[in-house]
Amino acid sequence: MERNIEKTYDPQGIENKLYEKWMNKKYFHAKMDRSRKPFTIVMPPPNITGKLHMGHALDNAMQDILIRYKRMQGFNALWIPGTDHAAISTEVKVTNQLKEEGIDKKELGREGFLKRTWEWKEEYGGTITSQLKRIGSSCDWDRERFTMDEGCSKAVEEVFIKLYEKGYIYQGARIINWCPVCKTTISDAEVEHEEQAGHFWHIKYPIVGSDDFVIVATTRPETMLGDSALAVNPKDERYSDLIGKNVILPLLNKEIPVIADEYVDMEFGTGVVKITPAHDPNDFEVGKRHNLPQINILNDDATINENGGKYAGMDRYEARKLMVSELKEQGLLEKIEEHSHNVGTHDRCKTTVEPLIKQQWFVKMEELAKPAINALKTGELKFVPERFDKIYLNWLENIRDWCISRQIWWGHRIPAYYCQNCKEVIVGREIPKICPKCGCNHFEQDEDTLDTWFSSALWPFSTLGWPEKTKELDYFYPTDVLVTGYDIIFFWVIRMVFSGFEHTAQSPFHTVLIHGLIRDSQGRKMSKSLGNGIDPLEVIDKYGADALRFTLVTGNAPGNDMRFYWERVEASRNFANKVWNASRFIMMNISSTKAEEVDLNTLTGADKWILSKVNKLAAEVTANMDKYELGIAVQKLYDFIWEEFCDWYIEMVKPRLYNDKDRTKKAALWTLRTVLIQSLKLLHPFMPFITEEIFVTIQEEEESIMISSWPEYNEVWNFETEENEVELIKAAVRGIRNVRSEMNVPPSKKAKVFVVSESEIIRSTFENGKVFFASLGYASEVLVQSNKTGISEDAVSTVIPDAVIYMPFAELIDIEKEIERLKKEENHLKKELERVNGMLGNERFVSKAPEEKIIEEKEKLVKYTQMMEQVKIRLEQLEK
């Protein structure tokens, strides 16, 4: 049965149709099958508040490439999709929605608010899921998970209780990131550090018992109200006599000590720093070492509290303004310097974050970090590329206890209950019936919820049914590869690794494949504020998902950022068109979609060459894929398909296809079809839609390319001799084309081509390849001989290894017409040279013209002089 694809490649016409087919056929679903080796990837769960951006597109395209590759290799490939409840961002969205309706979330109460949030999730939470499908993500959607679904919530509760019982979870007062607008602690991941113009205020602290003072430079003068000490470096000779003395804290007029601590950088500022343990993480550690009081000066809304004396009740920045003014009045402000510094802001509401001491729930990290460190050192876990090993180890080896509580309603509520009589804290799976300490039966649950990262840290195993000992967990876990950007190694990857060891005694994956960021064409990070973001769906609507995927992977090296150019998407679309048109040409020439085997001995040298090439390509691409070199693999595919297959082989075989009497026509058709199918299979993980449409049309043995077998190297298809022979002929063709191009000979002008070589092997090579060599070399006739007999003296030549190719000059061009053309060119150049020499010889021009213009005219003089010399040489040759 003869079938063909549409004349023009239209991604919009095939992509949705094919994705629906794959879904209906359950190709993405991985059933339990212990006879097959599993390969598992868990999707980094995008926020339910999110919409697809270029980072998502890259991350998921890479995962899909790996999962399709492994599926074709015969692995039981499972890609688990899911979304994250995104605690703070979701709460902000729902709160804002309520505000628009004139409702305060406090009026609804916790239960009412959560009901509205679940409704919001059902309505909008699936947006990004549907968008992921547009790029061809072959996830097992039957296993889709949500960080707050019943199973994941059970895992979170189990982990909290287990860690609490082991003493790893505790309540304590430590420095945290506080958002005064959202009124919650936030994780380091949610703090964006941006360079802001600020000031250094140099403030005089009078020395007790002296008329002298010491100067301290600070970027946050309002935090003076919480100063517990000044610190100097013990090695700093400038201040050695100050250590142990007291200074007066300006404005509050109270004495604080001067201490020595190596934390102080002698080269920075004045070499004296104020220590405010309740408002700076480093000061907090210094304060602990020296047993300093921790004085919190801020309310939850960032107004000054009662510890701020007369400034109590003022906004932090209003207080700063007044304090600076009063310091100036009292002669205690030495100077103010302009100073740019990094300021932490909440990524959701853009409010400047305050580090401050709060009573929160924390996870002790020292013991949990050890197996995660050991995993990298023993090779149980590896990063691609390896340079991220150092970042991972550095973070783990300097890890601080993890603050896991949040003061919001949306999220996993902390399973801790407080006795309302004696304040005993009981952690458990349900509300206690009686207090073991005082016998009271009235309890209230902790109001706080858990950090979003607490649940996503369990993602690789909670999605497979843990804490239950499910068959899926036993079979598909540990997972294999985690694909993620370098910006969340610390926040997510590390937490998954130590959680995996703690709760399953294994690393949750053996490899972490790190990719970079997609930047705009100027190299800037894409952001809403810059307005330079590119919507992946816009790219798909214009060029198709395959073109987007191909663009994102081309030139992409693990861990490196890349720039997005629309021109590259167009190039990817052009490549898709090339594949489509070549496939259509092949289909128009084959009479059946059924495969017909041929004897390899009937193949010509050209057939064996391309078969050998695609055979080696399969081995190379497989090796690249196994090393996660996706960018290298896709470039090899591009080069082979565009150049070797389309530009060379298809052109080589055309004379055989158009000649029904050619006995090798059947071999040519078999080779075309075979190499195309192999190429499509290798290309499929990168461009799933176009390869599927062509594959199911050109053959009828298999119903989908995505469940076909991955090409493997076949020793029977290794034709080294024929490869070398065809490469030699290609070199001759290139030489001929270069000569003709230099002489402006159009392709329509045919000429005799003589191949002269003393080597019998080379002569035999060209004799066997005469048919396609003549076609590619624009030859009217190909003559292969051992010497120059019969070749005119005026013949032009090109040299290849052990042979010379000649073409009679008179057959390439019409000598009389060429002489006429060259004389016209000579006259034109003569006038141009006269004009340029005239200008450069004119003193008035040279003295008044801009330097750029003079340089331009001098360059023209050199160019025209060289051109005139070439024209004269050519005319002399022709007139002979």
DSSP string, 338-350: EEEEEEEEETTT-
Residues contacting residue 834 through CB under 8 Å, at least 6 positions apart: none
Determine contact, residues 329/317, Cβ cutoff 8 Å.
no
Name the nearest CA neighbour of 335 among 445, 475, 215, 183: 215
Q: What is the pLDDT of residue 2?
A: 54
pLDDT at position 477 is 97
User: In this structure, what token pair is assigned to residue 338?
Assistant: 């302009």
Cα-based torsion angle of the residue sequence 48, 52, 55, 59 in order, rounded to the nearest 10 degrees = 80
Polymer length in residues for the chain: 880
d(CA 467, CA 490): 25
Domains of the chain: 36-146+365-404+450-515 (3.40.50.620), 196-341 (3.90.740.10), 540-718 (1.10.730.10), 723-813 (3.30.2320), 816-879 (1.10.287)
Tell which residue, 167, 199, 168, 172, has the closest CA to residue 185: 172
Does the annotation place 106 within a ligand binding site? no
Element (H, E) at 258: strand 254-260
- Compute the mean pLDDT over every residue in the chain, rounded to the nearest whole number: 92
Query: What is the three-class DSSP state of 460?
Result: helix
Contacts of 425-428 with C-beta under 8 Å, sequence gap 24+, read 425/171, 427/160, 427/161, 427/164, 427/165, 427/169, 428/161
DSSP for 185-244, written as a single string: EE-GGGEEEEEEEEEEEEEEEEBTTSS-EEEEEES-GGGGGG--EEEE-TT-GGGTTTTT
478: cis peptide before it, omega within 30°? yes
Phi then psi for residue 692, to 5 deg, are -65, -45
Question: What are the phi and psi torsion angles at 303 (to 5°)?
Answer: -90, 160
Write the single-letter amino acid at 812.
Answer: L
Q: Cα separation of 468 and 474, whole Å? A: 10
- Each residue's pLDDT tens digit, 477-512: 999 999 999 887 778 999 999 999 999 999 999 999
Burial label, 78 (beta-carbon count in 10 A; 0-12, 13-18, 19+): buried
* CB distance 697 to 3 below 8 Å: yes
Confirm if 232 and 276 have CB atoms less than 8 A apart.
Answer: no
Question: For residues 247 and 208, is the Cβ–Cβ distance under 8 A?
Answer: yes
In 711-858, which ranges are E strands? 751-756, 779-785, 796-800, 803-807
Q: Report the distance separating Cα 363 and Cα 52, nearest Å.
A: 33
Are the beta carbons of 258 and 213 closer than 8 angstroms?
Answer: no
Report angle CA 274, 277, 279 to the nearest 5 degrees: 90
562-563 and 518-519 beta bridge pairing: parallel
pLDDT tens digits, one per residue of 763-821:
999 999 998 899 999 999 999 999 999 898 878 888 988 899 999 988 888 778 778 87
Q: Please, what is the Cα angle at 382 between 376 and 384, to 5 degrees?
A: 140
Residues of the chain with pLDDT under 70: 1-3, 595, 880
